[in-house]
Structure 1
C-alpha cells in the first residue's frame, strides 16, 4: 500500500501554517504571513512537496474567506488537486451546542476535533494567536461554547495606540520579573503575567463546568512563550494542522 501524503493549510488572521503529512505523521511545516502576497510562496511550497511526494489531498481551514478562496483556486490550477475546504463541513465534525453553529470559526472547530481525538474529553482548548480563544468540550465530546479575548499583540498595540507615553514593544519571551523597573518592563509584565492569570482563571472556571478532570490544551503562535508557566496540560503548536489530518483520515475515502 502506498503512503498517503496530504498537505494541510491553516490560514489565520495573522499567519498561515502549512504542513506535509505522510501516513498521519507530520513530516515538515512552514510558516508565512497571512496575506495575498504569500499565496505565490504557499503555492510554490505546495508544488515542491507535490513533485517530491505525490500528494493525495490538500485540506484548507481558513478564517480569511477571500484568502482561502484564492488559495483554493491557485492550488487546483497548479497541483490539479481540488482542495477540501473544511469550512464547508465544519458543522458536521462534532456536536456544536451553541446558538449559531455556522458562525464558529473553522479553526476553533478543527482544534476541538483534534483535542477530542488526540487527548479525549472533557477538555479546555486555548489558542493564543491574533485573538486568545477558549473552547469548552463536555465529557461526551460536545462543543458547548467558548470565549474570545484580545490576543497578546492586539493588547500591546492597543496600549501604545491609546496611551501617548507608552512606546511600541514586542513580547517574545517571559519577562525577567513581575515587578518591572521601567515602563517597558511594566508593559511586558502586565501583558505576560496578565495573560497567564487570565488563562488560569478561565481554565479553572471552564473546568468547573465541563469537569475538573478536563485537560487544558494550548496551541497558537503565541502559546510557546507561556508553555513553561504550568497553565497547560498539553502544548501542541500544530493542533490545527493535526486536526485537519485527522479530519482527512476519518472522512476522506482512501485511494486504496
Structure 2
C-alpha cells in the first residue's frame, strides 16, 4: 500500500493506494504544533500494510515530525514532493517556490488527460494551476479562499455576521445574511470565471478546467468554465509522483 499525505494549511488529507486504486481516504485538522505521536494518532487507524509514503506539505513546521514518524512507524524515508521530485518541466521564474500541492494538481491533470488544463483548487487559498500543451507547469493566479474572505468581512466590520457559505435564493439579497452569501458566492464565481477566461486568452487555447478542494462542487454549479469536479486530484498527483520516482 502507498500512503499519500497532503498537508494543507487547514487539513491533512490522506489516501491509501492499492496499486492505482485509491481504496481509503480521510482527513484530519492541521495543527502546526503536532508532535510525532499526535500525528500518528491521525494516521495509524487506517494505515495498514504501508510500503511507501509520499508527502506534499505546505506547512514546514510539521515536516520534521512527519519525517520522523515515517522512519519510526513505517521504517522508511518518505518521498517529499518538490520541484525536483515532481519531474515536470516548470515554466516559472523560481521553481523552488512552487507549492507541492500545486505540483500534484498539475501532474494529475496532465497524466489523466494529456492536454492543456487549468486546475482550480478551492483550499485555504484558491489557486489556479496551469498545465501547458507541452506538459509544463505554467504557474497561475492565487487568490484568498472564500472562507478567508468571509472571515475577513466578519472580523473587520462591526455589524456583519458570520454566514454559511452557500448558494443564496436571490442575487439581490432580501436580508443581511443572504446579501453576504450572494456577494461571496456570485462574487467568487465572477472572479473564478473571469480569471479562467483571461488565462485561456493568454495561453492562446481552450483548456480543460478541473475543480478540486472543499467548495469545488458548490462553485462548479454556476461556473461556465469548470468541466469536472475531482475531489481526490491532489492525492492522485501524489500517486503519479511516487510512480515517477520508483519506475
Give the equivalent residue in structure 1 for 2:213.
Answer: 220
Give the equivalent residue in structure 1 for 2:54.
Answer: 59
1:196 is displaced (CA, Å) by 0.8
Kept in 2, the 8 Å contact 1:215–1:233? The answer is: yes
1:236 pairs with 2:230: yes
Q: Could you state the TM-score of these two structures normalised by the residue count of structure 2?
A: 0.92
1:40 is displaced (CA, Å) by 4.2
Kept in 2, the 8 Å contact 1:60–1:84? The answer is: yes
Q: 1:118 is paired with a residue of what secondary structure?
A: helix
Structure 1 residues 76 and 197, CA, compared in 2 at 3 Å: closer, same or farther? same
1:68 pairs with 2:63: yes
**d(CA) in 2 for partners of 1:43, 1:26:** 21
2:44 paired residue among 44, 47, 52: 47
1:208 pairs with 2:201: yes
Kept in 2, the 8 Å contact 1:11–1:68? The answer is: no
1:240 is displaced (CA, Å) by 0.8
Name whichever of 40-49 and 24-33 sits farther off. Answer: 40-49
Name whichever of 40-49 and 58-67 sits farther off. Answer: 40-49
Structure 1 residues 32 and 47, CA, compared in 2 at 3 Å: closer, same or farther? closer
Q: 1:98 is paired with a residue of what secondary structure?
A: coil
Alignment deviations for residues 88-147 of structure 1 (CA, whole Å, 9 cap, x no partner):
734x52111111111111111111011111122211111111111112221111122211
| Structure 1 unaligned regions, length at least 5 | none
Q: Could you state the TM-score of these two structures normalised by the residue count of structure 1?
A: 0.89
Residue correspondence of structure 1 range 123-142 to structure 2 within 5 A: 123-142=117-136
1:77 paired residue among 67, 72, 82: 72
1:79 is displaced (CA, Å) by 2.0
Kept in 1, the 8 Å contact 2:40–2:69? The answer is: yes
Name whichever of 229-238 and 195-204 sits farther off. Answer: 229-238
Alignment deviations for residues 30-86 of structure 1 (CA, whole Å, 9 cap, x no partner):
1111114486465245434444xx222011000001113212211221221221111
Give the equivalent residue in structure 2 for 1:13.
Answer: 9
Structure 1 residues 225 and 41, CA, compared in 2 at 3 Å: closer, same or farther? farther
Kept in 2, the 8 Å contact 1:136–1:210? The answer is: no
Give the equivalent residue in structure 1 for 2:20.
Answer: 24
Residue correspondence of structure 1 range 78-97 to structure 2 within 5 A: 78-87=73-82, 89-90=84-85, 92-97=86-91
Aligned CA RMSD, in angstroms, stands at: 1.9
Give the equivalent residue in structure 2 for 1:169.
Answer: 163
Kept in 2, the 8 Å contact 1:43–1:75? The answer is: no
1:155 is displaced (CA, Å) by 0.2
| Structure 2 unaligned regions, length at least 5 | none
Aligned residues: 245
* Higher share of residues assigned helix: 1
1:198 paired residue among 177, 191, 194: 191
